[in-house]
Chains A and B, each alone.
Chain A
Amino acid sequence: MRTGGTEARAHGGTGRILAVPLCRRARLLSLVVPLCLWAPVPAALHAQQPIGVGEARDIVSRLVETYGVSGHEGPVREAVIRLLPAWANPTVDSAGNILVRAGAGDPLTVYVAHLDEIGFAVAAIRENGQLELRQVGGFFPSLFEAEPALVHTAGGVVPAVFVPRDSVGRSPQRNPGALRADPGTGSRAGTEALGVRVGDAVTMPKSFAGLAGTRATARSFDDRVGSTALLLALRHLDPRRLRHAVLFVWSTREETGLDGARFVAERVGATEHPARVYAIDTFVSSDAPLELKTFADAPLGGGAVVRAVDNSSVTPPALVDSLLELARARHIPLVAGTTNGGNDGSTFTRFGVPDVGLGWPLRYAHSPAEVIDLRDVVSLADVVQLTAERW
C-alpha cells in the first residue's frame, strides 16, 4: 500500500457500527438503488472447494519470495501468470499490468491488487565500486542499514551489502541518511563488470517463515497478499456462473504513485463505466506493540477489512454496509475500519466509479518483518470471490 497521500480524519473503531443492512440505510440515503444489486444469498456458493489456509500459504509464500521493486515487476508478473487457472486468458498492457476478464454483461466490476514492492534503485556508481541508492516507495531506511543486499541486474542477481554509516557522531540519529550498497568489488570497473547499471533495483533478500499457529512473516506481503487473494478467488470461482463481467488487474508501480492502476482507469474507467472498483491492498493495522490504537485497530486473525476511509478515498457508507451484510450472511469474517495510505482504486473515482477498499490486517508494514495471519488471506479471498459472484 502506498504510504503517501493527503491526510484523512481518523474515524476510529472497526466500523462494526456501520454494518446496517443496506436497504434500511437506503431509506436514509438516496444513492441506494444501484447498490441493491446483490441477490438473496443462496444456500451454497459455486466454488468447487473452499479456499484453505494451506493453499493461501502456498501461493503467498511463492509470491513473497519473488522480487519486484516498483518499475521492475517482471518476475512477480510472471509468477502470477503461472498461478492463474487454466481458463484465464491474461493480457499484459503497455504499463505492465496483468488483466484477466471473466463473465459477461453489465455492470463491470474491477479488482486491483498491486505487483510491486518497496526497495531501492541504483542512482550512481562510485569510483570505489559502491552504489549510491535512491529510495523507491515510503519506508524507514534505517531498517535496511547494515543488512544484506541484492542488486537485480539484467544478467541476474548480484549480492552486496547495505553499507553501515561511517560514524554516529555525538548525537546519534535513527535515520542513516542516503544509503549505499557495496558489492565488494573495490572499483567502478569491477562493479560494472558484474553487469550493474544505474537504474537497477536493489532489495534485501527475503523469505517466508511460518510463526505460531496461522501467523507468518516475510517482506512484501504488501501487496502479495492482495495478489494472492485475486488468484485464490479466480481459482475457486466458476466463470460460467458469473452474473456480470469482472476484470481482475494486477497493477504496477503502486508504491510510487498508483501509476499502473491509473493507466487502467483512464482506459476502462472512462469507456466501460464500471459499477465499482475494489482496491485489494493492505489494511495497515495498529494491532502491534508500538502503535497508537486511536484508529486502524483491526486485529490479526479477525478477517478481512473494508478500508472504508484512507488517505486517498472514502467508500460510500451504503456500499460498506451492503458488503458487511453480504459477508455476514455468508459467515465470512469481515469488518470495516480506517487506516492510512493510498490505494489503486482511487484512480477510478474521477470517472465516477466508487472505490471499495478491501484489505487484511498487516503488522509492521513496509518493514523486512511484516506479519500476517493466513486466515485473513482466506477471508479476503472469500470476500473477493463472493463479491464477484454475488454483489
Chain B
Amino acid sequence: MRSRSRSALAALACALVAAPAAAQTPAAGPPLDSLVVRLANMSAVTGLEDAMAESLVAALPGAVTDAAGNVVVIRGSGDPTRVALCPLDEIGYVVGAVTPEGYLTLRRVGATFMGPLYDQFLEGQRVTVFGSRGPLPGVVGVRSVHLTRGRPSASEEPFNLDNAYVDVGATSAAGVEALGVGLLAPVTRAKRAHRYGADLVAALDVSARASCAALLEAVMRMPAGGRGTAVAAFTRRRNLRWDGGSFVVISHAHGAAASDVVLLGEAGAADSLGAGTVVAARDSLPAARGFQPATAWSLPTRYARTPVETISLRDVAALATKLEAFLGGQP
C-alpha cells in the first residue's frame, strides 16, 4: 500500500467512532483487518447515516457527498464508467416513546419485519443510544429468571419489540431528556466486532461493512491514469428501496452494462466461506425508468442477519483486490 493511502487509512481509523474493544478480543491485525473491525463497530441506521458518512468524507481524499447524501469518490474521466456501490446503512431503531419511569421504547427503521428472532436478539443485551450529546450505553430489559419460578410458565413466543424497554439508568422522563435523548434518537445494538478462528470476524451486518472496507481499500490502492471513469459510492438508505444507490446509478451509470455496475453488501452463501467472492447477476436496482442490471459481488457469510454474522478476512482481501482491478479498468 502506498504511504499516502496508509496515512489516509490511519486518519480514517482515528475519525471513525469505534466501540470499546472486548476484554478478550484479539487485537486487530493489518490495516484492512482493522478497517473491517472499525467499520463493523460503527452504527448507521437507515436514513440516519450522517455520522458515518461524515467520517468517510473526512478520511477519503477527494470524497464528496452527493445530493442524496451518498459518499462518492470519482477517479478518471470519459468512457466507460464503472460503478461500485456499497451500502452504509443498517436496520436499526429510533426511540418511539419515553415512559414516565425513564425507559425508552423502540420503533424499527428500515424493515417492517425481520423474522421472529431478530428482535429477540436485543433482549437482555447492551445497546447504544445516539443522543444529542453523544452516544450513551443502555440495556434492553429482560425478566429476571428467578422471579419466573413458581409462576405460570412465561410465553414461549419469541421476544418482540413491543416488550423492549431500554434502560439508560434514568429514573424519569425528565432524566432522559437531561441526557440529551428524546424521540427519534437512533438506537442500535452496542457494536463489538468479535474475531475468532483463523481469520473470521463476527458482528451484526459485518458482511456489508466488510464489503465497504474492501471498497475503501480498493479506492486507496487504485492507481492514477486508469481507463475511463471509476465511481466508488458508499450509499445511503439501501433498506428503503436502495434509493441512495439508485441516485448514483442515475447520476453516473444510467444504462451501463451489468458488468460495469457492481453491487456490494449482500450476504453470500455460507458454505463458500473462505472461497472468495460470490458473483451473481442482479436486475433489481431501481433506476430512472425501470431497473438497472448489475452484478452482485458478495462475501460468503455464515450466520447471516444475526449478531454473529460471520465473514472471512481472506475473502475481504480477495474482494479488495478484485475491486481494485475493476475500478482501475483491468480485465
- Contacts from A to B (Cβ < 8 Å): 1, 3-4, 7, 65, 138-140, 142-143, 145-148, 150, 157-165, 168, 172-175, 182-185, 205-207, 209-213, 215-217, 284-286, 288-292, 296, 301, 311, 339-341, 362-369, 371
On whether the beta carbons of A161 and B310 are closer than 8 Å, the reply is: yes
In angstroms, how far is the closest chain A Cβ from the Cβ of B130? 15
On whether the beta carbons of A209 and B116 are closer than 8 Å, the reply is: no
Q: Which residues of A contact B151 (CB under 8 A)?
A: 292
Q: Is B326 an interface residue (CB 8 A)?
A: no
On whether the beta carbons of B158 and A173 are closer than 8 Å, the reply is: yes
Q: What's the Cα separation between A4 and B145 when bound, in Å?
A: 10
- With A185-B198, A212-B136, A340-B147 already in contact, 6 other A-B pairs whose C-beta atoms are closer than 8 Å: A3-B145, A65-B23, A138-B146, A140-B145, A173-B156, A212-B169
Q: What is the chain B residue whose CB lies nearest that of A5?
A: B149
On whether the beta carbons of A366 and B169 are closer than 8 Å, the reply is: no
Q: Is B329 an interface residue (CB 8 A)?
A: no
In angstroms, how far is the closest chain A Cβ from the Cβ of B251? 38
Q: What is the chain A residue whose CB lies nearest that of B139?
A: A369
Chosen A-B contacts, 23 in total, with CB atoms closer than 8 Å, are A142-B120, A143-B125, A146-B117, A146-B306, A148-B22, A159-B26, A161-B310, A164-B117, A165-B117, A174-B156, A184-B197, A184-B310, A207-B22, A212-B170, A213-B169, A216-B169, A284-B144, A285-B144, A286-B144, A288-B144, A290-B163, A290-B165, A366-B146
On whether the beta carbons of B194 and A148 are closer than 8 Å, the reply is: yes
Q: What is the chain A residue whose CB lies nearest that of B178?
A: A212
In angstroms, how far is the closest chain A Cβ from the Cβ of B180? 11
Q: What's the Cα separation between A291 and B148 when bound, in Å?
A: 9
Q: What's the Cα separation between A174 and B143 when bound, in Å?
A: 13
On whether the beta carbons of A368 and B126 are closer than 8 Å, the reply is: yes
On whether the beta carbons of A211 and B141 are closer than 8 Å, the reply is: no
On whether the beta carbons of B143 and A172 are closer than 8 Å, the reply is: no
On whether the beta carbons of B147 and A150 are closer than 8 Å, the reply is: no
Q: What's the Cα separation between A174 and B117 when bound, in Å?
A: 8
On whether the beta carbons of B145 and A212 are closer than 8 Å, the reply is: no
- Which of B124, B170, B196, B307 contacts A160, CB < 8 Å? B196
On whether the beta carbons of B124 and A217 are closer than 8 Å, the reply is: no
Q: What's the Cα separation between A164 and B147 when bound, in Å?
A: 26
Q: What's the Cα separation between A368 and B124 when bound, in Å?
A: 6
- Which of B121, B143, B197, B306 contacts A185, CB < 8 Å? B197
A140-B124, A174-B158, A212-B175 given; A369·B169 CB < 8 A: no
Q: What's the Cα separation between A291 and B200 when bound, in Å?
A: 39
Q: What's the Cα separation between A65 and B20 when bound, in Å?
A: 13
Q: Is B168 an interface residue (CB 8 A)?
A: yes
Q: Is the interface of A mostly helix, strand, loop or mixed?
A: loop
Q: What is the chain B residue whose CB lies nearest that of A213?
A: B169
On whether the beta carbons of B157 and A341 are closer than 8 Å, the reply is: no
Q: Which residues of A contact B137 (CB under 8 A)?
A: 209-211, 217
Q: Is B291 an interface residue (CB 8 A)?
A: no
Q: What's the Cα separation between A373 and B165 when bound, in Å?
A: 18
- Which of B103, B149, B196 contacts A161, CB < 8 Å? B196
Q: Is B221 an interface residue (CB 8 A)?
A: no
A3-B146, A290-B165 given; A364·B124 CB < 8 A: yes
In angstroms, how far is the closest chain B Cβ from the Cβ of A307? 12
On whether the beta carbons of B306 and A164 are closer than 8 Å, the reply is: yes
In angstroms, how far is the closest chain B Cβ from the Cβ of A199? 19
On whether the beta carbons of A367 and B24 are closer than 8 Å, the reply is: no
Q: What's the Cα separation between A172 and B171 when bound, in Å?
A: 34
The interface on chain B, measured as residues whose beta carbon lies within 8 A of the other chain's beta carbons, has a size of: 60
Q: What's the Cα separation between A161 and B304 when bound, in Å?
A: 13
Q: What is the chain B residue whose CB lies nearest that of A156?
A: B24
Q: Which residues of B contact A311 (CB under 8 A)?
A: 149
On whether the beta carbons of A206 and B23 are closer than 8 Å, the reply is: yes
Q: Is the interface of B mostly helix, strand, loop or mixed?
A: loop
Q: Which residues of B contact A138 (CB under 8 A)?
A: 145-146
Counting from the closest, the 4 A-B pairs by CB-CB distance are A184-B197, A211-B169, A215-B169, A212-B169
A184-B197, A364-B141 given; A296·B147 CB < 8 A: yes
Q: What's the Cα separation between A103 and B149 when bound, in Å?
A: 40
Q: Which residues of A contact B165 (CB under 8 A)?
A: 289-290
On whether the beta carbons of B141 and A363 are closer than 8 Å, the reply is: yes
In angstroms, how far is the closest chain A Cβ from the Cβ of B129? 11
Q: Is B8 an interface residue (CB 8 A)?
A: no
In angstroms, how far is the closest chain B Cβ from the Cβ of A30? 33
Q: Is B219 an interface residue (CB 8 A)?
A: no
Q: Which residues of A contact B163 (CB under 8 A)?
A: 290
Q: Which residues of A contact B147 (CB under 8 A)?
A: 284, 286, 291-292, 296, 339-340, 365
- Which of B149, B179, B306 contacts A340, CB < 8 Å? B149
Q: Which residues of A contact B99 (CB under 8 A)?
A: 289
In angstroms, how far is the closest chain A Cβ from the Cβ of B78? 45
On whether the beta carbons of A289 and B308 are closer than 8 Å, the reply is: no
Q: Mark B101-122, 1 if CB is under 8 A from A, else 0.
A: 1010000000000011100110
On whether the beta carbons of B308 and A168 are closer than 8 Å, the reply is: no
Q: Mark B23-36, 1 if CB is under 8 A from A, else 0.
A: 11110000000000
Q: Is B202 an interface residue (CB 8 A)?
A: yes
On whether the beta carbons of B197 and A339 are closer than 8 Å, the reply is: no
Q: Which residues of B contact A65 (CB under 8 A)?
A: 23
Q: What's the Cα separation between A296 and B143 when bound, in Å?
A: 13
Q: Which residues of A contact B124 (CB under 8 A)?
A: 140, 143, 364, 367-369
Q: What's the Cα separation between A362 and B141 when bound, in Å?
A: 12
Q: Which residues of B contact A159 (CB under 8 A)?
A: 24-26, 194-196
Q: Which residues of B contact A365 (CB under 8 A)?
A: 144-147
Q: Which residues of B contact A160 (CB under 8 A)?
A: 196
Q: Is B330 an interface residue (CB 8 A)?
A: no
In angstroms, how far is the closest chain A Cβ from the Cβ of B203? 9
Q: What is the chain A residue whose CB lies nearest that of B176?
A: A212
A217-B137, A217-B139, A365-B144 given; A175·B156 CB < 8 A: yes
On whether the beta carbons of A339 and B170 are closer than 8 Å, the reply is: no
In angstroms, how far is the closest chain B Cβ from the Cβ of A174? 5
Q: What is the chain A residue whose CB lies nearest that of B165?
A: A289
Q: Which residues of A contact B168 (CB under 8 A)?
A: 211-212
On whether the beta carbons of A212 and B179 are closer than 8 Å, the reply is: yes
Q: What's the Cα separation between A207 and B103 when bound, in Å?
A: 22
Q: Which residues of B contact A182 (CB under 8 A)?
A: 196
Q: What's the Cα separation between A213 and B179 when bound, in Å?
A: 10
Q: Is B167 an interface residue (CB 8 A)?
A: yes
In angstroms, how far is the closest chain A Cβ from the Cβ of B181? 10
On whether the beta carbons of B146 and A172 are closer than 8 Å, the reply is: no
Which of B99, B167, B170, B198 is packed against the most chain A CB atoms within 10 Å?
B167
Q: Is B150 an interface residue (CB 8 A)?
A: yes
Q: Which residues of A contact B123 (CB under 8 A)?
A: 142-143
